[in-house]
Chains A and B, each alone.
Chain A
Amino acid sequence: MTALLVSIALGVLASSGIYLMLRPRTFDVVLGLTLLSYAVNLFIFFMGRLKVNAAAIVDGQGAATLARYADPLPQALVLTAIVISFAMTAVLLVIALRARAETGSDHVDGTDITVNQKPPQ
């Protein structure tokens, strides 16, 4: 049941992210990439299997097996992934703002076809 719920949540996050990434505005693309990276981070986390009430730190009481503890490795991986995706979002935002200032448009191609279209003279 938990697995189904988690899969649905991941699917919704990822598909919204992909939809937004395919939009023409840079801000939508940034949001889309953010949502996608959330989905990916959760996916990494869940690859250590879903486990309730289990610590990732071995406390010395009982055998240190995955039956008693949560897998700590995906938790370490997800930290790296979160930091990288956060930094990347910041970089992309700066580039998008700079492009908006230079080209005067927030279209991903730098020009807005619908606005710039002039009737032939």
Chain B
Amino acid sequence: MNWPDLIILPIVLPLMTGALLVLVERKSARLPGWLAAASSLAGLVVALLLLERALTGNVQAYLLGNWAAPFGIALALDRLSALMVLLTSVIACITLLYASGGDAQRGRHFYSLLQFQLMGLNGAFLTADLFNLFVFFEVLLIASYGLLLHGAGAARLKASIHYVSFNLAGSALFLIAASLLYGLTGTLNLADLAQRVPLVTPDRTLLVQSAALLLVVVFSVKAALLPLYFWLPATYSAASAPVAALFAIMTKVGVYAILRVTTLIFGETGGPAAFVTSPWLEFLALGTLLLGAVGAVAAKSLRVMIGNVVVASAGTLLLAVALGRPDTVSAGLFYLVNSTLVAAALFLLADCLRASRGSADDDFRSAGTSDVGHVAYAGNSHTLLGVLFFTFAVGAAGLPPMAGFLGKTMLLQAAGQTVWAGWIVAVLLTSSLLMMIAFAQSGSALFWKPAASSADGLATDAIPPASPTDRSSIPALPCHAAHPASLALLLALLVACAVFAGPLSRFTQATSAQLFERQAYIGAVLGASAVPAAIDVRREMRERKKRAIGETKP
């Protein structure tokens, strides 16, 4: 595939589909679902084609509107972008499959909001312009506000107010940081910034440093770094299951953005802003990891616990990024793929589990006798859910044989050569132990305590609808064929991650090596030449003007 416009397709395709879905939604009940599925599958194919293109090792730039790089907005595709776009597409397809089991019909515009969210995510991963990154952040946030509220309910509204105002304040800081960098360097293109930030005069060192740190703070809001993550468990546990699964990729946007700016702009060659995040980011990432694990142990319901597991995995990723060495970044990227899939799987599983427990919901208490009537997954399927939970828990806590273990081991190996070695080993192992305890606690509370009441062998297909409970959260939907199918897909992907760990880790090594080769990225973005247009309007206008002047002169 040599079609140059392919790079913009992950942004344009969801945008067009989303707009079309708004029109179609009222006309037909079934069409929107199929349309969204077709678009997401097409997005998956595009992501695979982009990955194939990125595997060549060349960074490819795409000039929007045919404007040369520092003046117009450029998109850039390297291995990291391709990996993130592919991961987004995979999660989107699985989310869509799960949502087709009934969750999509609980409110309006689910499919179109999902498409707009995809557009924002893909755009943020592909853009090579700081202000454009802000715009795509806003696109994905606006869609996420809508998705979070999907299905409404008091709990979601309460979480929404915190989430929206927190992110609005974050956006304000993003604008301050971006415009400050523009005021200091006169450019917003990431590649151009990488060249110009080192040239800032020494009397402005403090200004550059504060702009850089403000930028990292904003990304940390999304990535859930220590003092800024308290919104996350409440928000993710309030969202409906497919939305929460999709949000698993949202924390990764923050991690991606931090990785991009710290390797490209504020890295070794950052001049006055070189290694500006050190040692704060390392320290805070360790704190995030530890507190996330403690939060997981302390949680009283499954979804809050998973939210805290997401925080802990974000801490691990940020630690890998903060250490800023090719081997730590490679280990972090390997862990990123696994932790995203496992978080999505856990959120979906929690929803299936809630459906089987009636009013006990996902709280860590045994389902009371009055709930036996609601047991939808009696007998064998309850055991099946338990086995799935165990597998995902092993993956999330980082135990062998799942890929999470390999990611953590690689990180430990790589971190052993840094000055933080002792701290990292201690915190990483302690947090893994804490998460193991949390999963063991919750697993025994959820699966073993109600076993006595649900062992009477109710037929699985005779599922009574889950009755609305008095809790503020919305009851889960009864089991649908799409639910186990999406869980099976995620399980297959996780197993594939572990089985094909060799090729995957070689890929992440190549990815991180490419990230530290800054000149390739800078050269590709700034060196991209505009496509010669079939009709050059500007030259035609110039010639017409000349002719007009020539006619009036004599």
Which residues from chain A sit less than 8 Å from chain B, CB to CB?
21, 26, 29, 33, 36-37, 39-41, 43-44, 47-49, 73-74, 77, 80-81, 84-85, 87-88, 91-92, 95-96, 98-99, 102-103, 108-110
A95 in contact with B182 (CB, 8 Å): no
With a cutoff of 8 Å between Cβ atoms, the chain B residues found around residue A36 in the complex are: 169, 172
Nearest residue (CB) in B for A95 is B160
Number of B interface residues in the complex (CB < 8 A)? 28
Nearest residue (CB) in B for A110 is B158
Nearest residue (CB) in A for B148 is A95
* A21 CA / B165 CA spacing, docked (Å): 8
A51 nearest CB across to chain B (Å): 13
* A87 CA / B180 CA spacing, docked (Å): 24
* A41 CA / B174 CA spacing, docked (Å): 12
The answer to the question of B335 belonging to the interface, with a C-beta cut-off of 8 Å to chain A, is no
* A87 CA / B164 CA spacing, docked (Å): 12
B135 in contact with A40 (CB, 8 Å): no
With a cutoff of 8 Å between Cβ atoms, the chain A residues found around residue B157 in the complex are: 95, 98-99, 102-103, 110
A47 in contact with B183 (CB, 8 Å): yes
Given contacts A40-B176, A43-B176, A43-B179, contact A80 B158 (CB under 8 A): no
B135 in contact with A44 (CB, 8 Å): no
With a cutoff of 8 Å between Cβ atoms, the chain B residues found around residue A41 in the complex are: 175
With a cutoff of 8 Å between Cβ atoms, the chain A residues found around residue B283 in the complex are: none
* A31 CA / B416 CA spacing, docked (Å): 49
Nearest residue (CB) in B for A103 is B154
Q: Which of B131, B152, B158 has the most CB of A within 10 A?
A: B158
The 4 A-B residue pairs with the shortest CB-CB distance, nearest first, are: A47-B183, A99-B157, A110-B158, A44-B179
B175 in contact with A33 (CB, 8 Å): no
With a cutoff of 8 Å between Cβ atoms, the chain B residues found around residue A99 in the complex are: 154, 157-158, 160-161
Nearest residue (CB) in A for B132 is A80
A77 in contact with B145 (CB, 8 Å): no
B172 in contact with A40 (CB, 8 Å): yes
* A84 CA / B171 CA spacing, docked (Å): 10
* A91 CA / B146 CA spacing, docked (Å): 9
A33 in contact with B165 (CB, 8 Å): yes
Q: A21-B169, A48-B183, A103-B154 are in contact. List 16 more A-B contacts (CB 8 A).
A: A33-B169, A33-B172, A36-B169, A40-B172, A40-B175, A43-B175, A88-B168, A88-B171, A91-B145, A92-B161, A92-B168, A95-B164, A98-B157, A102-B157, A109-B158, A110-B158
A23 nearest CB across to chain B (Å): 11
